[in-house]
Amino acid sequence: MTLSRIHMVLARNDEFPEGSAAHGYDLVVPLDASGKLDPAAWKNHAKDCVVHRFWANEDDQKGLLRHTGKSWFIDYDASREGDEEPFFKLDRHDVKVGEYLTVIEADGEPHTFKITSVEPFARK
């Protein structure tokens, strides 16, 4: 298992026919050798699994990647219920360049993102 930094940007949609590099997420995630999320490793590195949401004309948000059962989600404030943004079937997806991941954002709308980089995570 290694921690990896994932960069993903908004994929094409009706509003952005070419996608948008100004809308997306940077995540630190534990990946196994096959490129899938590793729930056992997440338990040991949960505090390292940070998420940075960037969205044009909005303040950036920071949170943590959380895991329960088969579900993965972004939690922006552990002391507050209802601010979580779940991933759609993230437990089944390969996390590699060119793949797509869907996040159900706070407004309840699903947005699909294209993974543009997967790099080893280096602590600063």
* Per-domain boundaries in the chain: 2-120
The predicted pLDDT at position 108 comes to: 86
- Residue 65: CB partners within 8 Å, gap ≥ 6? 27, 28, 29, 42, 46, 49, 50, 51, 72, 73, 74, 75
Report if pTM > 0.85. yes
The predicted pLDDT at position 107 comes to: 82
pLDDT band at 1 (very low <50, low <70, confident <90, very high): low
Burial of 31 (0-12, 13-18, 19+ CB in 10 A): buried
Q: Is pLDDT above 90 for 19? A: yes
pLDDT tens digits for 23-66? 999 999 999 999 999 999 999 999 999 999 999 999 999 999 99
The predicted pLDDT at position 63 comes to: 95
